[in-house]
Amino acid sequence: PGTPERARYLQWLHFAESTAYPPLGIVVWLVVYRGEAESQAELVADARARARSGFDFLEAELGEGPWLLGDDFTAADVMMGFTLAAARLLAVIDDESHPRTAAYFARLASRPAFVKAAGLT
């Protein structure tokens, strides 16, 4: 507590759920659950754009280490993994526009616990 490392950890932990995921939730609600992609096209487009903006920030901020906090895998990576899986599933981001994010997600997706939790086995 009270260190720059702790502050960065909290930043990423909360970023995943309070900044990056909410616009994805709007897309899921309107497109998947409500089937209103056409009637709410403007809202869906806005939510997708806001989500991409968050992932643009992530792309720019990913450092040289394998994880959000460098060499240490943390709960912030776990939280971001779910959010990135949703973004990829909804085609909000792709490997070409976010190559560092794609490489980061590939590292997450190679972890046995991620594979098990995501039902990829």
25-54 residue pLDDT tens: 999 999 989 988 899 999 999 999 999 999
Distance of CA 83 to the CA centre of its chain: 4
pTM of the model: 0.88
- Which amino acid, one-letter code, is at 34? R
As a whole-number percent, the residues of the chain with pLDDT over 70 amount to 98
- Which alpha helices (DSSP H) does 1-121 contain, by range? 4-15, 21-27, 41-61, 75-89, 99-109, 112-117
Asked whether the beta carbons of 37 and 31 are under 8 A apart, the reply is yes
Domain spanning 4-117 has what CATH number? 1.20.1050.10
Residues 6+ apart with CB under 8 A from 83: 16, 17, 20, 21, 24
Q: What confidence tens digit (pLDDT) does each residue in 94-112 have?
A: 999 999 999 999 999 999 9
